[in-house]
Structures are given as C-alpha cells and as structure tokens.
Amino acid sequence: MSSTRRRFTGLAVGALALATTAAAARAATELTVYTALEADQLKAYQAAFEKANPDVKIRWVRDSTGIVTAKLLAEKANPQADVVMGLAATSLMLLDKEGLLLPYAPKGLEKVKPTMRDPADPPKWVGMDVWSSALCFNTVEAGKRGLEAPTSWADLTDPAYKGQITMPNPASSGTGFLMVSAWLQMMGEEKGWAYMDALHQNVAAYTHSGSKPCRQAGAGEYTIGLSFEYRANKTKKDGAPIEVILPKEGLGWDMEAIGIVKTTKKLEAAKKLADWAVSEEANRLYAQNFAIVALPGIASRLEHVPGDIEAMLIENDFAWAAANRERILAEWSKRYDGKSEPRS
Amino acid sequence: MATASGPLATPLPVPAAAPRPVRQALSRDDLVMRAGLGLLVLWLALSVVLPLWALLEKAFSGPAGEFVGLANFAAYLATPALSTSLGNSLLIAAASTVICVGLAFGYAWALTRTCLPAKALFKAIAAIPILAPSLLPAIALVYLFGNQGFARWALFGHSIYGPIGIVIGEVFWTFPHALIIVTTALATADARLYEAAVALKASRSRIFWTVTLPGARYGLISATFVVFTLVITDFGVPKVIGGSFNVLAVDVYKQVVGQQNFQMGAVVGLVLLIPALFSFLVDRLVQRRQAALLSARAVPLVPAPDRLVDRLALFFCSIVAFAILVVLGTAIFASLATFWPYDLRPSLKNYDFDNMDGGGWESYRNSLEMAALTALFGTAIIFGGAWLVEKTRRFEGVRGLVQLLALLPLAIPGLVMGLGYIFFFVEPSNPFHFLYGSMAILVICTIAHFYSVAHLTAVTALKQLDPEFESVSASLKVPLWRTFFKVTVPVCLPAILGIALYLFVNAMTTVSAVVFLYSPHTQLASIAVLNMDDAGDIAPAAAMAVMIFLTSAVVRGLYGLVTRGLLARTQAWRRR
Amino acid sequence: MEAVAGAAAPAAPYLRIRGVTKRFGTFTALERVDLDVEAGEFVAFLGPSGCGKTTLLRAICGLDPPSEGTILQGGRDVTALPVRERDFGIVFQSYALFPNLSIRANVAYGLVSSGRPRREVERRVAELLELVGLGDQAEKYPAQLSGGQQQRVALARALALRPGLLLLDEPLSALDARVRARLRGEIRDLQRRLGITTIMVTHDQEEALTMADRIVVMNRGRIEQVGRPDEVYARPATAFVADFIGKMNFLAGRLLAPDRAEVAGAELLFEPPLALGPGAPVTVCLRPEDVVVREVERRPANRLTAEVGVMEFIGNHFQTTLHVPGTNLDLSAYLSINAVRDLGIRPGRTIPICLPPDRLRVFPEPPRPS
Ligand SMILES: Nc1ncnc2c1ncn2[C@@H]1O[C@H](COP(=O)(O)OP(=O)(O)O)[C@@H](O)[C@H]1O
Ligand SMILES: [Mg+2]
C-alpha cells in the first residue's frame, strides 16, 4: 500500500515538474503564422528567426496556397493567424482587399527591390522571394517512349505527350495559379483558354499540390510535370533522372510575401518577424531555395536549373491577377475539373 | 433458545398497516455511482451529442450562422458534381462490399468449417490490415499497379487511379472487419443440424445451401452493412488512389478543408450519415436475431477432415493471405528503396521525415502520445462507464440514456464526427473552445469515435461476472470502489487490455475524424501519410504508413505477451 | 445465556414482516406477506421455483426492497435502509466467491474493510475457516476447491462480521446429492451452535423438512402455511401444501354432510367437519402411508375392501395401487414389509383396509388438474 502511495507521489512530482517546464517554455510569445512554404524550408527559417528572437516562438499552420487562402478568408470574422508568411502575393492582395492586413514598414524596407513590395506606404505586404514555374522532364521514361524534350509551353500540346503530363490544380496550388495567370497574360484571354483546352487533352491528372507533378515525373509515374523551380531543383538533387526545363516563352511567377494580420494581439512579436523577414540573413536563407529574392545582390543560381530565371520572368500584373483570381478559377473549374485530383 | 425449542406457533396475523410505497434510502455508494453516471452523461453529451448537433445546425444555417432552412441542401442538389459523386460512392461501396464479404465468407468458412492447416497463421495474416491506416494499401497499389508498378500488366491497360484502385484498397482495408463478423456467425453453428443433414443423405453442396448459408445469414447481412458503411465513409483510399474519380467522402473534405465551405461540408456529412444510420439500425436488429440463434445452439461443430475440401480451402486462403502480404510487403519495400523505381538499393532516406511535408518525426511521436492517451483515458472512461451502467442500482432512466449514447458513435462515421467537432469547438463562445487545436481534442474525439465497440466489449466482460459480487460487498459493508479495484478490474483484465489495444491501434491508424482537428503542433502520423502523399512524397508516405503498421504490430505483440504473462501471474485462480 | 434471556421475557420477534408486496412492473411477485421470525430460529422458505422465495429474501435484506410493507429487524424498521446499513450475511446459490482472491482473502474481505487490526482479522479468519473445516485450504483459490468446500467458504465469509441474520438462497442446490445430504447436517449444526437467526430458501422439501425449525410454504407470491415440519407434513393447511409436500392421494368428492363425503362411489367419514352445505365439491387427501391394513376390524369407520394391484418394492416398503371394487376409487398406498409379510398381501388379493377419518384432509375445492 505504502509503496503504491510513494509511486503516486513520484508520479505527481514528475507531472508537476513537466508542467513547470512546459510553462517556462510557454513564457515566450507564441506567434501563429499561416504559411504555404515548403516543409523543408520552414525549419531553417524558424531556427534562424528564433535564434535572433529567443522570446518569440513560431507556430506554423501550413498548407497549400489555395487552402491557406481559403482558411484565412473563412476566418476573416475571427482571424486565428498573427502573421501570414510565405504566401503568394496574389493571395495577400486578396486578403488586403478584405481589409485583413496591417500596414507596417519593416526595418530595412528601403533596401527591398521596389517591385517586390506592396506599392502602398506603409506596405501591407513585403515580398520575400520569387518563385516561378518550371518543367520536370523524366529522361528515362522519355527515352523508353521516344519522346523529345519540350522546350516551350507550346510544345506541351503535342499529341505525343498525351497522358504524360501532370500539372497542379490552380484552385488549390499557387504554382498552378501562377501558370494559368501567366498564360492568360502572355497569350491574352481567348488564346490562353484555347491553349489550356489543348493542353488539357494531354494532361493525365491535375494534382492538389504544386510539388507533386515534379515528384511524379521524378518517379517516372508520368513523364512531364509542370511544377516550380525550387521543387525541380530539389527533386533532381534527390537523384531523380529528370531535366529541369524553363519554357522559352517566359515563366509565370509570383512572390512569396509576408504581412501582419490586423487583429493580432501579439503585435510586437509580429513586427519582429516582419523585420527579420526583410533582413539580409533571411534573404540569404531564401536564396538557398530561390534564385530571386527581395534584397538586390543576393540572387543565387540553382544548381540544377539551367538558364537565367530572372531574365525569363514575364511581365506580371499582380493587381490584375488578384482582381480576377476568383473568375479565372471558376472558369478553370468549369472547363477542367473532371481530371482534378481530389481536394481542389 | 439456541435449539429447536423456540416458539414455533404460527404468528398471529396482525392487521396489516395501510400500504405505503417503500423508497429505499440511498447509500453513499449509490450516490457516488449516480454522480458518476451523471458525469458520464455530461461527457457523452459533450463528446458525442453536441458536436453532432453542431453539424446539424451548420447544415441548416448560412455563412453568418443565420437559419436558412433547406437552402444549403438545395444548393448542394443543384451542383452537378453531386450526382456523379453519389453514383460513384454507391458504385464503389457496392462493389467493394460484394467482393470483400465474398472473400471474407470463403476465408471464414475455411477457418471454421475445414481442417485447414496453420489456422493461427492465417488468422494472424488476415488481421494485418487492421494494424495499418487505410492509406497504406492505397499507396502500395500505386507501387504495384501505377504507371511504374511492377504488376502493372495485371490491369490489362486499365489505370489503377480510379475505381479499380479504390475498390482493391477498400477490400484490403475492410477485409478483417468482415472476417471477424462472418467468423463469429459461422462459429455458432450447431453440429446437430449437420448430423441431421448427413443422416438424411444430403449432398455437401445441398448442406451448404440449406444449413451453412442460412445459419450465417445474419452475420453476412451484418458484415455487408458494416463494410458498405466503412467504404462509403472512408476517404483515405479514394484520396490517394482515386485520381479524378470523385466520391462523397472526398467531397466533404474538399468542401471543408479545400474551400473552407463549412455549410456545404455539413450537408455532405449529413448525406453520409444516412447509410451509416441505416446500417446501424440493421446491425442492431440482426445482432438480436443472431443472439437468439446463439442461445439456441447446443453442440459445437468440429469439422471433419476432407482431403479435397481442405486442399481447396488451403489454396483459397493462401491466395488471400498472399495478396495481403504482397500489399504490405510492397509498402515496406518501397519505403526502403533509395529512389523508386530507378535506384532500388535499400536506404532509410525515406524515413527522414523531418525534411518533408507532414510534420516529420514529431507527428509520429504525437501519434504515439495520442494513441497512448486515448488507450489510457479511453479504457478508464469506457470500462468505468460500462461498470456504472451495469452496476448502479435502479436509476433506470439515466442508465438507459447512457446505453443509448454509448452506442450512438457506432452510427456516426469518423468524418462526420470530426466535422461536428470543428463546428462545435471552433466557436469562440463555446466554453470548451480552449480545447480547439490541442492534443486533448484529438484524444476526446478518438475516444468518442471508437466508444461503442469498446463499450460493448466491456459490458460483455462485466456480464460474465457473478451479478452478486456487489450484493456480497454491500452485505459485508465493503465500499463498492474497493470491490471494483480488488475484484472487477483484476477479473476483467484481459478484456480491459483488449479495449486498450483496440483504442491504441485505432488511434494510430485513424484519419477520418482527426484530419479536421489536428493543428501544426499536433500533427499525426496518419495525417502525415496523407499530406506527404499529397505533396508527391509518396515513398516517405509509405514509410510513415509502415511505421504506423509496425507500431501497431509491436503493441499488438506486447499485448499478447503481457496478457499471457498476466494470466500466468495474477490470474493463477483461472487454473484449476 | 441466550436461553435464559429468552425464557425471562417472550420478546418481540427478531424479524417482523408486515404487508410486504413486491411488484416488477405489472407483475406481482409478493402479495401482502406477513411473517414473524424468532431470534435463533432456522426458517425455510419452501415453494416451487418462481413462487417468490428469493424475492422475499432479497426484500428482507434490502437488495431488492419491497414495493410496500414494513420489515422490522431486532426492533428497528429496516424497510428502507440501504443494504450496507443492515445486519445480515448472505450466501448465494452461485456462492459469488471472488475468483481472483484466495480463500483467506475471500473470508477476510469484509473484515479488512471494517478497519479491524490485522492481527484480529487473521485470528478471525483462522477461526472461521476452522469453523467450516477448511483450516488447511486458506491459500487456495475458489476454483481449486470442490463445490461443497466453496459453499462452506461462502458461509464463512457471510458469518465473518457476526451478523444477526443469516440468509441462505438455495445454498445446496448446486451440489450433488451426497454432498448435499452431508452439508445439510453441517449447516444445521453450525446454525445451532452459533444460535444465529437463519432463513434459507429452498425448493427441496426434504431439505426444508430436515433442516428447519419452521417451514414457510409459499405459492404464487403468497404464504400458504407456516409451521413446524411435522405439522406442515401432517396437517397441510391447503391443497397446495398437501400436494407440494410429500406424496398424497387427491380424490375428488362431494360433501354429503359436514363430516361425510362421497368419493368415487364410496362414502367416507372425516374430521374435523367442514362448514359447507351438502353437495359442495371437495378434495379429499390421504397420504399413501396412512392407509391402514392391520387390525382393520377394530376401526370404527371408513372400512373398505380393496383389490391389491401391482406391488413395487421400494426398499423399506412396498408401493401399490388399491382398487375398491364396486366403486371408482383407486388409491396409492405404502405397505410396510412387515404388514405385507404378516398379512400375506400379494397382487390380485382382496384385503380389508381402513382410511382413518383423522388422516383424511378435506379441502373445499375440486382437485387441481395435475
Ligand atoms: N428483477 C425482476 N424483474 C421481473 N421479474 C422478476 C424479477 N425477479 C424475479 N422476478 C419474477 O418474480 C417471480 C419470483 O421470482 P423468485 O423470487 O426469484 O422465485 P423463486 O421462488 O424461484 O426464488 C418470478 O416469476 C420471477 O420471474
Ligand atoms: Mg430463487
């Protein structure tokens, strides 16, 4: 009996100790950050930020661009997020339109390229890096099927590629949306849709995530995956027999950006994160994943991506894209939803 | 007066007092137990009824919470995707059910009615799918029959992405559920019927059609409904391998997670509740009939050897067992390959979860924690609750209510349960809102989701105890809790451990309810599988599914060892 | 000591049951039962299965309190008291021994909770086990004992707290015949030694007749008769009791006069007389062993001649059927071996018999179809 009691006491003391440690850890401000950044990038950003700001801890809520956007819009009456970081600028513009973002000029804003921030002053959002579309082309499977590597968007409508292409669903994937937006801007609405109609004939599946097409191309599940340059680079580095192709007509792109949610109760911590996000340290980290970042002079080259991405980016009218996002997605769903993977 | 010399005359009939109803005073035990039942009702109301109510409410209200009547349903019915999804769902569920119940019947028949060798082995293999999330077979199918699958030829050019893949995956996943039900039904056969049939010189096939099949009919009906419901409400398999083939369960997910359209999600959720409720009612009805058959049985059947039949049984069971092992083996193999399909050298690269979507190893640790907490608290609540229901004196109304509430989760698909939970707990005005996004809500939801089966197990175990234990304790003035801990719990220990195992394994593998409830710091392994697959990290997804399987299998093994050890040590009294 | 107290003042009965009714829904399991049990008495509730014996026992101890009525135990109104505030020990038909506890722990179960010092508990357990003759089985588990031993463990456990009232619900019915016969005596001895007021439920008349000081015969939720075993046997108060206890000839008859009835063509005198008009249907009962065959000529009334039918040798007597020629009267009779030998009774012979009027029990009702 008494030994049981002693064991209980031990347990209780242990539990108390645990609770105290947990409480100590909680003493730091916990910042809820909604993001669409890739999971493999989050860790490095978080570690660097928390090292510089030990009194703030980040709690990520991560999902794909479409879902994070929808979630933020759905919660607009009662926002849960303190900061939105690493979400497409087009999405942040939508949030801004709903009046969800707080104008704030982070320390060091003056160094940021003028094209990579909200033109308003102070800005509601500031860009972090540029991500752009890229093709992943599986050379082994292409060899088996005798397929030539495509060099342009136009090539992708070649009937030879029928059933060999996957692309992200623009409703859920930011990568998917920036492609569609780019085609419509480059070709004009009418030709743009005609192009997508033709492409649709060759597409085997529209995936939920922007990474999956490249992963699938890497695994030979399909030969060509429409994806983005970071994932293409990483997949090739992981050992996939792919070639990364930048279609010659130009690349759709979007910015990953950061903004503070107006209703945050942790403004100090939120500002710290925004300040850190435009710092040189942060930009160097972005540069490990992306060729083009917000601060000039830090641009890097991705090991497995040939060519100069920055030069190939199209003229992108973000305001137009943001304003027309809903209409474009509705039209897209009407035309192509049949081949969509679940969760669009 | 100590001897027979006491006054023995017939007592005078004293004029009886006017009859007055007797109300027995409540003892402290009675009060404590009633209070316990009251708490249990509150718990079940909070964890089952109110979330379900929140779902109903949501389905009938607009985005701002205003009552809109059937407008959401009208909007849903106007969506062209609906009829497609509904048709697809019914098709998939029907096909999977027919195949699964057919296979399960054959397998169960071989296990119970033939002299199949290595029955224990075949039983163990058939239980494998229960230990893995439904995503595991789906992922394995991609490796088997996908465009790079090594058995792709077997599909004759058809794509695994779509109905074929869903049906195979669902059959794999639901097989053990059907098998358990059908085996139980077949095991209750009365040998005398067979002897009579043989004496009447009925042929083997005639006996099968006139004795075996009718005897198992309730089991078959029950299994049919259970499998149908499981399939129509599962979204793990269609999510991974469904391609563009939309089904209702995925629609819910799309509406809620993809488009944050809660009202529409609630509507589809209610649609999914219909087959589940229906199946629940049929199952209850059938169970009663089955019980009647069971009580009437007298002589258990001992199968006689028959070379031809036994060989056929072995052949059939071997094929099924082989298929199960191939699916599992494929997942393990794919998870260990360096870069499928181009570099098949073994490596643990895919187990480096920390650098992938899905929450990393932490999600695995979270799952372990969640499963352990669910097993611990769930077993305590469910067994304690069943004991209260069985042993509280009188108080019939509340006991009946608890019985009803305890069985209710059986009629609620996990998906619907999870939806109800977000709707209920997300409201900032809810005093329990603080649970939202916590580990506690996952544990509470999982306990609620799997309450019924565990409750029934506990009730069965308790009913096997002598009902007079409590009477004896009361007459000896021993508090009931002492009898509970000194007698009831030790005697029911095998059942209690069984409940804990059931809860643990289900908590490890479940996706459907918790997918709506996890937060970044309560990522779970099963959801990591889903998310990694989503991001195209299919090999790591397979790896995580394998981790879940291994964990469940190890815990299952431990359970076997512990129960054996416990039985040997603390239950010496069972041996004569 | 107790005997002195009892002799000094005829105190109120230890247990006084008044107007006890128990209903299960619309079904009435006990109807207005009145009963007194004296201190130190051994009372048996006897009746067919389902007649309400257990229900009455459980009403007495509060496990299933009555719907109406009062129960006084030792002068205290216990009707509505919770079980644990009462004073009784109980042995169930199933014994309800805790299977995971040793015999010692089973017997000590109530003692440990009562907060007695350990020494005392140990001493008491040893004493109890000695009392039931299981001193050497203390460390075993119930499943390792025979049925009879388990029964005694249950008894020891029930006696542990020295209750004022011992309740036994069919304590012997799970045992085989020989063990049962032995335990009857043992339980009876124990009860007398301890002087504990005891109520036993049984459906076995032999058990009730051999063990009890008084028998309470029950039928359909009512008490039919209360009395000493010999009384109940010799003078059953109702046809039901007559039928239920012992062997009995049931003869349909019609009243001719208050002390005379016509039975199947024969005219029989009986006593005491019945206060009914002539022509009333009656049942005339006679135990087979009460048929007189010796010195019939010295009997004043109810002399008949009878043909002897088939004779079965039962061991210590013969059983036969007697037919009275010229009537429809058939009787079952037990004939002692002596009488058969002395009188040369053989099947087919005609012998004089007498049905003594004081042995005939006449009930004012037609016999129930049995
Ligand atoms: N809990 C109960 N609910 C309904 N009926 C009961 C209950 N307990 C006993 N009865 C009924 O009351 C009658 C008397 O039962 P019982 O006292 O157990 O008989 P017995 O004389 O064989 O001990 C039976 O007809 C039985 O069916
Ligand atoms: Mg009884």
What tens digit of pLDDT does each residue of C245-297 get?
888 888 888 888 888 898 888 888 988 888 888 888 888 889 898 999 988 88
C26 CB near ligand 1 (under 6 Å) = no
Asked whether B182 and B123 are in contact (CB, 8 A), the reply is no
Cα separations in angstroms, A28 against A56, A251, B79, B162: 5, 42, 48, 48
What pLDDT does A2 receive?
Answer: 43
Asked whether A201 and A257 are in contact (CB, 8 A), the reply is no
What pLDDT does C180 receive?
Answer: 85
* Burial of residue C117, with CB atoms counted within 10 A of its CB: 0-12 exposed, 13-18 middle, 19 or more buried: exposed
For tokens 């699958």, the residue is B149
> Can you tell me the distance from the alpha carbon of A196 to that of B20, in angstroms, rounded to the nearest whole number?
88
Query: How far off is chain B from C258, nearest CA to CA, in Å?
Result: 26
> B258, A341: Cβ pair inside 8 Å?
no
Phi-psi region of A243 (alpha: psi -120 to 50; beta: other; left: phi over 0): beta
For tokens 């397998």, the residue is B107
Tell me: pLDDT of C5 over 60: no
DSSP tag of A251: B
Helices (H) and strands (E) in chain C, counts: 10, 19
- Chain B nearest-CA residue for A73: B260
What pLDDT does A277 receive?
Answer: 94
Spatial CA neighbour of B504 closest among B414, B400, B369, B405 = B369
C50 CB near ligand 1 (under 6 Å) = yes
H/E segment holding residue C201: strand C197-202
Phi, psi of A36 (to 5 degrees): -120, 15
**Please, what is the end-to-end C-alpha distance for chain A in angstroms?**
60
What pLDDT does B19 receive?
Answer: 63
pLDDT tens for residues A30-62? 899 999 887 778 888 999 999 999 999 998 888
Index of the ligand 1 atom closest to the CA of residue C201? 23
For tokens 């039900």, the residue is B181
Q: Which residues contact B399 (CB under 8 A, 6 or more apart)?
A: B37, B389, B392
Model pTM score: 0.84
> Can you tell me the distance from the alpha carbon of A72 to that of A74, in angstroms, rounded to the nearest whole number?
5
Tell me: pLDDT of B368 over 50: yes
C221 CB near ligand 1 (under 6 Å) = no
What pLDDT does C320 receive?
Answer: 92
pLDDT tens for residues A84-116? 999 999 889 989 988 999 999 999 999 999 888
Mean pLDDT to the nearest integer, A288-307: 85
What pLDDT does B330 receive?
Answer: 94
Q: Which of A68-77, B378-387, C72-81 has the highest mean pLDDT?
A: B378-387
Mean pLDDT to the nearest integer, A214-232: 93
For tokens 């950061």, the residue is A258
- Chain A nearest-CA residue for B532: A212
Spatial CA neighbour of C196 closest among C225, C158, C223 = C158
SS3 of residue A256 by DSSP: strand
**How many CB atoms are closer than 10 A to CB B482?**
13
Q: Which residues contact A58 (CB under 8 A, 6 or more apart)?
A: A30, A31, A33, A46, A49, A50, A273
pLDDT tens for residues C95-154? 999 988 899 999 999 888 888 888 989 999 999 998 888 888 889 888 888 888 999 999
> Can you tell me the distance from the alpha carbon of A280 to that of A264, in angstroms, rounded to the nearest whole number?
26
Mean pLDDT to the nearest integer, B15-21: 59
Q: Which of B66-80, B151-165, B313-327, C14-28 has the highest mean pLDDT?
A: B313-327
Ligand nearest to the CA of C219: 1
What are the DSSP E strand ranges found in A24-163? 29-35, 56-62, 83-88, 101-102, 126-138
Fold classified for A132-253+305-339: D-Maltodextrin-Binding Protein; domain 2 (3.40.190)
The residue whose CA has the least distance to atom 24 of ligand 1 is C50
Pocket test for ligand 1, best of C21, C22, C24, C67 (most atoms within 8 A of CB): C24
> B253, A40: Cβ pair inside 8 Å?
no
* Burial of residue A26, with CB atoms counted within 10 A of its CB: 0-12 exposed, 13-18 middle, 19 or more buried: exposed
A3-130+254-293 and A132-253+305-339: same fold? yes
Index of the ligand 1 atom closest to the CA of residue C221? 14
What pLDDT does B309 receive?
Answer: 87
Spatial CA neighbour of B252 closest among B61, B512, B523, B533 = B512
What pLDDT does C272 receive?
Answer: 81
Looking at per-residue pLDDT, the higher value among A3 and B395 belongs to: B395
C173 CB near ligand 1 (under 6 Å) = no
User: Which among B14, B480, B570, B573 is the top mutation candidate for probing chain C, defined by the most C β-carbons within 10 Å of its own β-carbon?
Assistant: B573
> C89, B482: Cβ pair inside 8 Å?
no
Indicate contact of C with A: 3+ CB pairs under 8 A.
no
> Can you tell me the distance from the alpha carbon of C134 to that of B390, in angstroms, rounded to the nearest whole number?
34
* Amino acid in the structure at residue B487: V
> Can you tell me the distance from the alpha carbon of B469 to that of C63, in angstroms, rounded to the nearest whole number?
12
pLDDT tens for residues C211-258? 999 999 999 999 999 999 998 888 888 888 888 888 888 888 888 888
Mean pLDDT to the nearest integer, B504-511: 92
Kind of pairing between the strands at B337-339 and A83-88: unpaired
Sheet with C15-24, edge to edge strand ranges: C27-37, C15-24, C68-73, C76-77
Index of the ligand 1 atom closest to the CA of residue C170? 23
Check CB contact of B337 with chain A, cutoff 8 Å. Answer: no
What pLDDT does A94 receive?
Answer: 87
Chains touching chain C through at least 3 C-beta pairs below 8 angstroms are B
In the structure encoding, which two tokens stand for residue C44, read together? 């048996």
* Amino acid in the structure at residue C315: G
Looking at per-residue pLDDT, the higher value among B202 and B335 belongs to: B335
H/E segment holding residue C252: strand C249-257
With bands split at pLDDT 50, 70 and 90, how would you rate the model's confidence at A186? very high
Index of the ligand 1 atom closest to the CA of residue C53? 21
In the structure encoding, which two tokens stand for residue C83, read together? 């079980």
The residue whose CA has the least distance to atom 6 of ligand 1 is C24
In the structure encoding, which two tokens stand for residue C39, read together? 């201190």
Check CB contact of B354 with chain A, cutoff 8 Å. Answer: yes
Kind of pairing between the strands at B343-346 and A224-228: unpaired
Query: How far off is chain B from C302, nearest CA to CA, in Å?
Result: 32
> B487, C98: Cβ pair inside 8 Å?
yes
Looking at per-residue pLDDT, the higher value among A2 and C63 belongs to: C63
What pLDDT does C315 receive?
Answer: 80
Looking at per-residue pLDDT, the higher value among B531 and B328 belongs to: B328
With bands split at pLDDT 50, 70 and 90, how would you rate the model's confidence at B294? low
Mean pLDDT to the nearest integer, C160-187: 88
Looking at per-residue pLDDT, the higher value among C176 and B121 belongs to: B121
Pocket test for ligand 1, best of C31, C33, C55 (most atoms within 8 A of CB): C55
Cα separations in angstroms, A160 against A199, B243, C41: 12, 22, 106
> B24, C82: Cβ pair inside 8 Å?
yes
H/E segment holding residue C251: strand C249-257
For chain A, the structural domain boundaries read: 3-130+254-293, 132-253+305-339
Largest Cα separation within chain B, whole Å, is 102
Asked whether C123 and C111 are in contact (CB, 8 A), the reply is no
Spatial CA neighbour of C144 closest among C104, C102, C107 = C102
Asked whether B558 and C125 are in contact (CB, 8 A), the reply is no
Tell me: pLDDT of B485 over 80: yes
Query: How far off is chain A from B22, nearest CA to CA, in Å?
Result: 41
> C143, B468: Cβ pair inside 8 Å?
no
> Can you tell me the distance from the alpha carbon of B396 to that of B381, in angstroms, rounded to the nearest whole number?
20
Phi, psi of C363 (to 5 degrees): -115, 140
> B244, A339: Cβ pair inside 8 Å?
yes
DSSP tag of B190: B
Which of the residue ranges A1-5, A49-53, A123-127, C104-108 would you say has the lowest mean pLDDT? A1-5
Residues 27-46 of A with CB under 8 A from B: 38-40, 43
Asked whether C214 and C341 are in contact (CB, 8 A), the reply is no
Pocket test for ligand 1, best of C21, C26, C27 (most atoms within 8 A of CB): C27
Superfamily of domain A3-130+254-293: Periplasmic binding protein-like II (3.40.190.10)
What pLDDT does C7 receive?
Answer: 43
In angstroms, what is the span from residue C174 Cα to ligand 2's centroid?
A: 12
> Can you tell me the distance from the alpha carbon of C369 to that of A245, in angstroms, rounded to the nearest whole number?
104
Q: Which residues contact A198 (CB under 8 A, 6 or more apart)?
A: A157
Tell me: pLDDT of B136 over 70: yes
* Amino acid in the structure at residue A304: H
H/E segment holding residue C215: strand C214-219
* Burial of residue A23, with CB atoms counted within 10 A of its CB: 0-12 exposed, 13-18 middle, 19 or more buried: exposed
Q: Which residues contact A221 (CB under 8 A, 6 or more apart)?
A: B142, B146, B147, B148
Which of the residue ranges B227-236, B355-364, C327-336 would you say has the lowest mean pLDDT? B355-364
Buried b (16+ CB within 10 A) or exposed e, B4-32: bebeeeebeeeebeeeeebebeebebbeb
The residue whose CA has the least distance to atom 2 of ligand 1 is C24
**Tally of residues, chain A:** 344
Tell me: pLDDT of A22 over 80: no
- Ion ligand 2 residues within 5 Å by Cβ: C 54
Query: How far off is chain B from A317, nearest CA to CA, in Å?
Result: 25
What pLDDT does C3 receive?
Answer: 39
C52 CB near ligand 1 (under 6 Å) = yes
What pLDDT does B12 receive?
Answer: 43
Cα separations in angstroms, C303 against A89, C295, C362: 124, 11, 18
Ligand nearest to the CA of C171: 2
Peptide bond before residue B51 is cis, with ω within 30 degrees of 0: no
What pLDDT does B573 receive?
Answer: 57
Mean pLDDT to the nearest integer, C325-337: 89
Tell me: pLDDT of B406 over 80: yes
Asked whether B434 and B530 are in contact (CB, 8 A), the reply is no
- Residue A242's DSSP bridge partners are A138
Asked whether B96 and B227 are in contact (CB, 8 A), the reply is yes
Q: What percent of chain C has pLDDT over 70?
A: 96
Q: Which residues contact B471 (CB under 8 A, 6 or more apart)?
A: C63, C83, C90, C92, C96
Asked whether A125 and A259 are in contact (CB, 8 A), the reply is yes
